[in-house]
Amino acid sequence: MARFSRENKATRVAPVRRRSVARTAAERPAPRRRAADAPYHHGDLHEALLKAAEQVLERDGLPGLTLRAVAREAGVSHAAPTHHFGDLTGLVSELAAIGFRQFGVAMAAADASAATPSEKGVASARAYVAYAEAHPGMYGLMFRSERLDYSRPSLHEASEASFAGLARGVGVSQISRESLSLDQAAAIASAWSLVHGFTMLLLDGRLSKILKLLPEGTTPETLLTAMLRLSAGRPPRP
C-alpha cells in the first residue's frame, strides 16, 4: 500500500514539474544575437558605416582603416561595407567627400565672418588649419589622391566646391571651369602652398621647435597670421 502511494504521488507530481520546466524555458529571455548575426540592425546602415569609418580613421589612422575594422566599429557583419561601397576605395572616397563638404562649410563660414579681402584671407586660412587640427585623419585622407576615386560624383562635387571655397579665400571669386588667368592661378597656388605646408608641418610636429622659441603664449594661429602678413608684402612687426 505504501509502495502504491509513493508511485501514485510520483505520477501526480511529474506533470507539474514538466509544466514548471516548460514555463521557465518560455520565460527565459532569448540569447542576445551577435553583431555578425544581425548585420542590418541600423536604421541607416550606409551613414552608420561612414560614421564608423571616420571614427576608425581618426583613432587608428589610414593604415588601420579596413573594411573589417569599419564593420567591427559599426557592430555589423563584415560583409556590410562591401555591400554598400564595393571595396575600400569606394568607402574611403565617400568618406573623403564628407571631409571636403565639412571643410567647405568651415571655409564658407570663415569667409562670411570677415569684411575686407585681407580679413577674409586670414579667416579662411585659420579655418583651414583649424579643420585639419580637429580632423587630422580626415584631412590626411582628403589629400591622398592615390587612395580615392574622383570619378564618384559625390567626391568630385565636394572637392570642386571645396576648391571654390579656397579660391574665394584669396579673393578669386569667379572661377572658370575651363581656365584660370596666370594671376588667379598664382594667387590660389601661393596661398594654398603656404597654408597646406604650414598645416602639414604643424600636424607632423615639425613646428614645435619654432613655437618653443617664440614668446610664451604665441599660438600656431598667431604664427600663421604673421606668415600671411609677410606673404602679402607687409613688413613684420618689430
pLDDT digits (tens, 9 = 90+) for 39-95: 445 568 999 999 999 999 999 999 999 999 999 999 999 999 999 999 999 999 999
User: Would the pTM count as exceeding 0.85?
Assistant: no
What's the one-letter identity of residue 40?
A: Y
Residue 173 confidence class, pLDDT cut points 50, 70, 90: low
Q: How many CB atoms lie within 10 A of CB 80?
A: 24
Residue 171 confidence class, pLDDT cut points 50, 70, 90: low
Whether 100 shows a pLDDT value over 90: the answer reads yes
Section 2-10 average pLDDT: 47
**100 exposed, middle or buried (CB, 10 Å; 0-12, 13-18, 19+)?**
buried
Give pLDDT, residue 234.
54
What sign has the CA pseudo-torsion 134, 212, 190, 197? negative
As given in the structure block, the three cell numbers for residue 144 are 591622398
Q: Are 95 and 50 in contact (CB under 8 A)?
A: yes
